[in-house]
């Protein structure tokens, strides 16, 4: 359908709506084209007529075949997943049991998180996967006589972090350029840039 409208747009002929596809107005639209373009548009419109006739039959056959799959009822119970979308998922996924773990299934199903940095690069990570090496954080003592040496510096960092401008916060702690290294059973994140706030970020993540 887009190829039909492209023929008219290439000649600066606007085609609003769907009237260009209707058989009752087809003669009027084809009359606005020259001989060569008119023949191509007529051929594409003839193909469209055949496809529109076959579409309901193909849709019914696809849904009927998908209903026989064991995962049909489970996927149909998910909101916003109609019969056509469920049939497409079943055709592409076939079965989730062909993946070794759920972490292998997430990127295939499009559930991996893509984080774009200010450098134009993007990093992809899976939900719930922590592949980077976190620095070891010593536990803070509850005894007042044994206050760690880094306690005052952490309080100062906390004050600076709470009063930081939002754009500075995003650039320092969210848009961090990284490289994803995938091995057999591990995912590692190699930082391509470093700033003073990343140690604070890792310390916060370890405390959560």
Question: How deeply is 176 buried, as exposed, middle or buried, from its count of CB atoms within 10 A (0-12, 13-18, 19+)?
Answer: buried
Q: pTM, whole model, 2 decimals?
A: 0.45
pLDDT for the residue numbered 115 = 60
Would you state the structure tokens that stand for residue 3, as one six-digit string?
């190829």
Nearest one of 57, 95, 105, 54 to 75, comparing CA atoms: 95
Total Cβ atoms within 10 A of residue 200: 17
What are the residue ranges spanned by the domains of the chain?
2-94, 104-139+150-207
Q: Given the structure tokens 């639209």, which residue do they identify? A: 29
pLDDT for the residue 45: 92
pLDDT at 55: 92
Q: Alpha-carbon distance 202 to 181, whole Å?
A: 19
Q: Which helix (H) or strand (E) holds 187?
A: strand 187-191
Backbone angles phi, psi at 53, to 5 degrees: -75, -35
Q: Extract the tokens encoding 203.
A: 């310390």
| pLDDT tens digits along 141-167 | 545 455 556 667 777 777 777 787 888
H or E element, residue 123: strand 122-125
Output the pLDDT for position 112.
65
Within 13 Å of residue 112, how many CA atoms lie on the same side as its CB? 19
Q: What is the mean pLDDT of each run of 10 residues along the chain (208 residues)?
A: 87 87 89 89 92 93 92 89 89 81 75 58 46 45 54 75 79 76 74 75 72
């Amino acid at each position: 359908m887009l190829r039909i409208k492209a023929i008219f747009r290439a000649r600066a002929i606007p085609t609003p709506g769907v009237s260009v596809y209707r058989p009752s107005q087809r003669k009027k639209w084809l009359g606005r084209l020259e001989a060569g373009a008119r023949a191509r548009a007529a051929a594409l419109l003839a193909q469209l007529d055949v496809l529109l006739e076959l579409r309901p039959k193909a849709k019914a056959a696809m849904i009927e075949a998908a209903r026989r799959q064991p995962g049909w009822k489970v996927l149909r119970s998910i909101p916003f997943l109609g019969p056509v979308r469920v049939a497409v998922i079943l055709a592409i996924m076939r079965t989730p049991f062909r993946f070794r773990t759920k972490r292998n299934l997430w990127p295939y199903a499009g559930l991996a998180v893509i984080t774009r940095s200010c450098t134009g690069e993007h990093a992809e990570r899976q939900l719930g996967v922590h592949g980077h090496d976190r620095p070891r954080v010593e536990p803070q003592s509850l005894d007042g006589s044994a206050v760690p040496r880094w306690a005052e510096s952490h309080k100062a960092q906390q004050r600076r972090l709470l009063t930081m401008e939002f754009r500075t916060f995003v650039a320092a702690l969210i848009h961090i350029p990284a490289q994803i290294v995938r091995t057999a059973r591990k995912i590692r994140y190699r930082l391509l840039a470093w700033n003073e706030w990343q140690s604070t970020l890792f310390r916060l993540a370890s405390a959560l």
